[in-house]
Amino acid sequence: MNHQGGWELIKNTWQSWLQHRGFFFLLAFGWMLPLLVYLMIWSAAASEGSLAGLSQDALAGYYLVLVLVNQLTYATTNWTVGDNIRMGQISRWLIQPMSPLYHALSSEIAGKVVFMLFSIPVTAFLALIFRPQFNLSWQQSLLFIPSILLAWALRFFWGYWLALLAFWATRADSLLALQDTMIFLLGGHLAPIRLLPNWMQSLAKILPFRYMSAFPVEILTGFLDKNESLTGLLIQLGWTSTAYLLYRLVWTRGVRHYEAVGG
Amino acid sequence: MQALRLIFEFFKVSTQAEMAHRANFFIRFLNAILNLATGVLSLTVIFNQVESIKGWDMPSAMALLGVYLLLAALRGLFIGPSLESVAGMDGEIWQGTFDFTLLRPVDKQFLVSFRHWRVLMLFDLCLALGVLGYAIHLMQAELTLLAVMGFIITLIAGAALLYAALLAFSALVFWNSGFLFTWIINDLFQLARYPVELYPGWLRLVLTWIIPVGLMTTIPAQALSGKLSWQWMILTLLFTIGALIGASWLFRQGLKKYTSASS
């Protein structure tokens, strides 16, 4: 396997993406806005005291960390996988002496670099307005690192296997829209999980969507105790492995099925 | 009269084009349902935690959601696709094909505003009306004729304001053709999902007088629940007329600046 070629591709992609920063900043702004809307709604709702033990400052802390975590874990790449399969771009990748996964990974990493250039300063500025507050402990920070890596991997591979269904169905992208909706509802965007009604809370804890976005934030901002964090990590690991296996399965079958159109 | 005949022809041609992609029916249907479900579920989650926020309870917030969905459907029906085809990504200004549009013997603002229709958005429109009906049912208040009249008038004003904002942002493309101004206003329009009173003071002012997405939905919803004073009604109408004139002026200034994209 040619890893050096993969690394060169990654570097190239992010440098070329930086030339189009305006466009990517716009995308980042669009993802940030709904989260800020719900931060303000919940702040207004908590203006007389607190909601389920969450004060305005704690809500601000939760949502501002979520803005960053959401952009770090959002897999933009998956939206173009379907087009690449339909347009036959993937034929070229298949004959290159490295895994086509590198093409997805390169735009993933390029995306993170460009989005963070926008989001970190903007979030820092928003922190001055919303005055977030949370206690940071060593234990929380240590658990945060594996949980955000797993969250990224889970969200990426989950979207990737869905997108790869484009080998069979032309409009598989709409499944990605469904995934985004589920993350909005059950992944802590609409509300921190503990503010959801009971039935939604139980769903959130079982299904993979919370583990793609809210879970690392809950760990870092101290919403969870040690036991809850560790069980959560185990569930997250389970879903990530499932997503990876599904990706392998769909990929090997898909490539066998694939036949380029046109010439 | 000729304008109406042209709109009918545009509508017919767009519909015929859309009929060719029958798989889209299912996708549009799915999107509309997802949109409705997230909207209603969001309100359920919020008002499961609190009775009311700053004077807005579940029924009045539901009425506002209905107005929002209605305006969003109108935007998707023709304003959005028409302006997007000129000023959006890969639009006529980028491609240089705007020359052909300019050559048509019709008023340019009329042409760029009504040319493309997405007939399937009529389904979203029906769902939005359903939400409005449900909200009125929840309110259980006797709707006075005055309230209904006020609602209809302010709703038309809201739609006109949305149109003016979209036209103005699209016109900016003449000054900087590389930037997707229409995306910004589409992102900001999401703030209209909730009453403008729920946002912090500085943002409330911006959303009322500078980028009036707040006025578009909050005012009609207030009119329906009979909470709108006649002073505000007149102010909104005057502001709408001003915004329409201003946006039209900006668009004509932009047209003067237009130079074709080809060399």
The pair of structure tokens assigned to A33 is 């806005």
Q: Taking the domains of chain B in order of start, what are their residue ranges?
A: 2-257
- Identify from A39, A40, A178 which residue to disrupt to test chain B contact, counting B C-beta atoms within 10 A and taking the largest count: A40
More confident residue, A242 or A134: A242
> Could you give the number of structural domains in chain A?
1
Task: For residue A155, name the pLDDT band (cuts at 50, 70, 90).
Answer: very high
- Residue A262 domain flag: no
Domain-located, residue A192: yes
What does the radius of gyration of chain A's CA atoms come to, in whole angstroms?
19
Q: Identify the domain containing residue A139 by its residue range.
A: 3-257
Q: Considering only CA atoms, give the Rg of chain B.
A: 19
Q: What is the dihedral of CA B18, B20, B22, B24, to 10 degrees?
A: -40
Single-letter amino acid, residue B60: S
Q: What three-state secondary structure class fits B56? A: strand
- Taking an 8 Å cut-off on Cβ atoms, the answer to whether A29 and B179 are in contact is no
Please count the residue pairs, one from chain A and one from chain B, whose beta carbons lie less than 8 angstroms apart: 74
Half-sphere exposure of B60 (CA within 13 A, CB side): 22
According to the model, what pLDDT value does residue A38 have? 95
**Residue to test with chain B: of A130, A174, A209, most B Cβ within 10 A:** A174
User: Which residues in B have their CB inside 8 Å of a CB on A?
Assistant: 23, 27, 30-31, 34, 37-38, 41-42, 44-46, 48-50, 53-54, 178-180, 183-184, 186-188, 190-191, 193-194, 198-200, 203
- Asked if the Cβ–Cβ distance from B42 to A170 is below 8 Å, we say no
Indicate the pTM of the whole model. Answer: 0.89
Which residue from A22, A23, A44 is facing B198, i.e. has the nearest CB? A44
In a 10 Å sphere around its CB, with 0-12 CB exposed, 13-18 middle and 19+ buried, how is residue A171 labelled? Answer: middle
The answer as to whether A263 is a domain residue is no
A174 with B23: Cβ contact below 8 A: no
How far, in Å, CA of B163 to CA of B141, rounded?
Answer: 31
Average pLDDT, integer, range A4-18: 78
User: Among A98-107, B123-132, B192-201, B221-230, whose mean pLDDT is lowest?
Assistant: A98-107
What CA–CA distance (Å, rounded) separates A84 from A91?
9
- The pair of three-digit structure tokens given for residue A14, joined into one six-digit string: 């992010």
The answer, yes or no, to whether residue B27 has pLDDT greater than 90, is no
For residue B252, is pLDDT > 50?
Answer: yes
Q: What would the pLDDT profile of B169-221 be if each residue is shown by its tens digit?
A: 999 988 887 778 888 888 999 999 999 989 988 899 999 888 899 889 999 99
ipTM attached to this prediction: 0.88
Taking the C-alpha atoms of residue A105 and residue A152, their distance in angstroms, rounded to an integer, is 12
Contacts of A27 (CB under 8 A, 6+ apart): A76, A115
| Structural contact between residues B252 and B107, judged by C-beta atoms closer than 8 angstroms | no
User: Which candidate, A214, A153, A228, A218, places its Cα nearest to that of A182?
Assistant: A214
Over residues A132-144, the pLDDT tens digits come to 888 788 888 899 9
Contact A177 B34 (CB under 8 A): yes
What does each C-alpha distance from B94 to A177, B97, B172 come to in angstroms? 27, 8, 13
Other CB atoms within 10 Å distance of the CB of residue B35: 17
Q: Which of A88-92, A157-161, B53-57, B254-258 has the lowest mean pLDDT?
A: A88-92
The answer to whether the Cβ–Cβ distance between A41 and B50 falls below 8 Å is no
- pLDDT value, residue B263: 46
